[in-house]
Amino acid sequence: MGQLLPADGRELRVTEARRRFFEEGACPDGELPNEVLRSWLRCRDAGVDYLANGRGDPEGRSELAEARERSELLLNNASGVMEHVYEQIRASGSMVILADDRGVILHSLGDPEFVGRAQRIALQPGASWSEGARGTNAVGTTLIEAAPVEIIGAEHFLDRNGFLTCSAAPVFSPEGTIAGVLDISGDSRNPQRHTLGLVRLAAQMLEKRLFEIQYAREILVAIHSRPECIGGLQEGLLAVTQDGRVVGANGIARALLRQLPVCPEGIGFSNVFRVSFGVFMDRCARDPHALQALEPRAGERLFSRLRAAGPLLGMSRAGTRDDEAGAAARVQSARGARPCDRRTGEITLDCLATGDPRLQLALDRAARISGKDIPLLVQGESGVGKELFARAFHFSGPRAEGPFVALNCAAIPESLIESELFGYVGGAFTGARREGAIGRIQQAHGGTLFLDEIGDMPLGMQARLLRVLQERCVTPIGGQRQIPVDISLVCATHRMLRDAVKAGTFREDLYYRVNGLTITVPPLRERSDIRSIVAKILETELAESPRAGQVRISEQVLEFIERYPWPGNVRQLQNVIRVAAALLDDDEAEILPVHLPEELFGADPMDDAESGRPQAAAAPQPAAEAPAEPSAQARSLGEIELEVIAAVMREVSGNVSAAARRLGISRNTLYRKIGRMH
Ligand SMILES: Nc1ncnc2c1ncn2[C@@H]1O[C@H](COP(=O)(O)OP(=O)(O)OP(=O)(O)O)[C@@H](O)[C@H]1O
């Protein structure tokens, strides 16, 4: 970059360098700034005539309009910055110029007298100042050097531009390509000391603005190795999606992170830093103003602060921030509740220990391999709590703060398993989303991938999954790049996988990969802790009700529950208790036989209640075929209650007395509840 030597000395040196270069064909090494000499050599090779005298007219109006349209975002955001710069140099008789990525001047602002002189050499909107068009000059040479450049007086390749002194800096787009150039040009007899620094700062301001606009919907994280640089123009900026993918980085951030490559589908936050995005956001939520230390996987330790968190922190697209205390709360709520919350599934292995010795053995063995990178295979009949076990394993281990991502291989069509698991790049196949999608494997990075019903995975998919497990990398469909993934694998199956291997429907090599430790969750009918499970289910069901802690289950019902074979296992028990709790009247505090569903308890619950003797249930279905009433799962107690009432009313053809008897509630209560249905 050029240095301001005392004017005479510098001028004499450059004049001598010109003579040797243009007249003797020599290479005036050491007499010119390196970038100037490089540029002269390029211009000579390209056949640029240093004596060219024509004005080199600017393009026509339509070309200028087209160039402005191409760079609309740059132009719209540059004018404020240019005015700010012009304020600083107003007295110096200079002009501020914005050129596009090809060197075409889009806009200029300046001292009227100098602007007049500049027009004589076509330093004006519409003219191209690329090196090819005008030889060495700050705009064109900056575009080639991709760095700030100062070209003073006779350093310009063309003789006729020797009266200029120009400083320019590239403006990088959020993607890291050059979007344009900002330049300050003036008379070389009146050089200003700080123009290069000024134009550089202006370019950084503009880059920052472009970055914020481009990633207005993402979470912005400011980073720097020096804490005092956070909040200033020197800060690095990262754009991170809510699911923790770094999708953008400004030039400073890329340099701080050792030239971090950023691709449109993003790179996992925990691939870049030694912490998961969830943990980082939790820390920020605790104190949004504090600087957080961040340790990159490559590069020195950094400081960081959440700059803007788009939708999470209530940023509008225009970038105005609402209250930050609320923001912290939203970050917290976005992360969900803490472990051992059965409603959200964030529970630990300890929470599952309710006294059954077989289950306890399974819990102990799983706890021993926690954090040891050994794949866990959970076996058991449908509805026994395999997924719950997998969650508890995840939330009990060192990956608890990372994601828990579940995929039920039996529940999605074979044709979709591949894209669900591996994700795809934009346009990978017909019907694919334009921006692509990340697969479950990648989503689980830093956490646990739970593959339910792994035995139902198609054979072709098994081969791909095996490769991912061996290479610890995933390649999205249609993509070229392998993305490293760090996952803990837990699989579940209701069938004996070994039998599937024998039958040739499950690959033997994959079987050994997924089966580091196998544990079996016993069926409910064989568990000795059924009363504790009932109590936990009831507690969870009523957790949000004003009656939490006030409802009992009668001994009669508990005895029945202990005797019933529960073909649908815990899921079926959960549904029964959910419905029973829904049928409780406001003034009732005990679940009685009348609250149990008819199919379990005989045709007329009132009869059973009156006889005081629970009937043995009809012969249970074989476990594998048992329907587990999943429809009751995702509904609220109120909804279930209303559905049950509606079904009973239909059965008794609208006879309220018969319905009340059947439901085990008074007619008045039924009228009240029916009133709520309308
Ligand atoms: N010990 C338990 N305490 C309370 N609820 C439980 C318990 N175990 C399982 N459940 C509940 O039972 C339901 C079924 O559990 P889960 O989905 O984990 O079973 P699964 O064996 O994975 O079923 P499937 O084989 O059908 O996928 C869930 O709603 C779960 O919350």
**H/E/C letters for each residue in 428-442?**
CCCCCCCCCEECHHH
Separation of alpha carbons 530 and 63, rounded Å: 80
ipTM: 0.98
For CA atoms 225, 226, 229, 230, the dihedral sign is: positive
- Minimum-distance ligand 1 atom for the alpha carbon of 492: 22
Separation of alpha carbons 29 and 37, rounded Å: 8
- Minimum-distance ligand 1 atom for the alpha carbon of 380: 21
pLDDT per position as a tens digit, 114-153:
888 888 888 999 999 999 999 999 999 999 999 999 999 9
Structure letter (DSSP) for residue 20: I
Q: Parallel, antiparallel, or unpaired for β 105-110 and 95-100?
A: antiparallel
Q: Which pLDDT value is given to residue 141? A: 97
Distance of CA 152 from the midpoint of ligand 1 (Å): 76
494: Cβ below 6 Å to ligand 1?
Answer: yes
Quote the Cα angle for 27-28-31, to 5°.
160
Q: Which pLDDT value is given to residue 5? A: 44
Residue 93, both tokens:
């008789």
Give 273's contacts (C-beta < 8 A, 6+ positions apart): 280, 294, 295, 296, 297
Mutate to test the pocket of ligand 1, among 496, 571, 625 (most ligand atoms within 8 A of CB): 571
Q: Do 293 and 302 touch, CB atoms closer than 8 A?
A: yes
Structure letter (DSSP) for residue 296: B
Q: Which amino acid is at 592?
A: L
Place of tokens 């200028």: 64
> Which stretches of the chain score pLDDT less than 70?
1-8, 54-57, 59-60, 262, 288, 308-346, 427-435, 598-640, 664, 666-668, 671-678
Buried residues in 71-108 as b, exposed as e (16+ CB within 10 A): beebbebbeebbeebbebbeebbbbbbbbbbbbbbbbb
Looking at domain 9-204, what is its CATH homologous superfamily?
A: GAF domain (3.30.450.40)
Residue nearest to atom 15 of ligand 1 (CA): 385
SS3 at position 528: coil
- Minimum-distance ligand 1 atom for the alpha carbon of 388: 18
Separation of alpha carbons 670 and 643, rounded Å: 13
Q: Do 540 and 549 touch, CB atoms closer than 8 A?
A: no
Q: Which pLDDT value is given to residue 329? A: 34
Cβ neighbour number for residue 127 with a 10 Å cutoff:
24
380: Cβ below 6 Å to ligand 1?
Answer: yes
Q: Do 165 and 153 touch, CB atoms closer than 8 A?
A: yes
167: Cβ below 6 Å to ligand 1?
Answer: no
Q: E strand or H helix at 656, and its extent?
A: helix 656-663
Phi/psi of residue 324, nearest 5 degrees: -80, -25
Distance of CA 386 from the midpoint of ligand 1 (Å): 6
Residue 472, both tokens:
């610890």
Q: Do 17 and 31 touch, CB atoms closer than 8 A?
A: yes
- Minimum-distance ligand 1 atom for the alpha carbon of 382: 25
- CATH hierarchy code of domain 349-522: 3.40.50.300
Distance of CA 597 from the midpoint of ligand 1 (Å): 20
Residue nearest to atom 10 of ligand 1 (CA): 385
Cβ neighbour number for residue 483 with a 10 Å cutoff:
22
Q: Which pLDDT value is given to residue 668? A: 65
**H/E/C letters for each residue in 118-129?**
HHHCCCCCCCEC
CATH 1.10.8.60 for domain 525-677: yes
537: Cβ below 6 Å to ligand 1?
Answer: yes
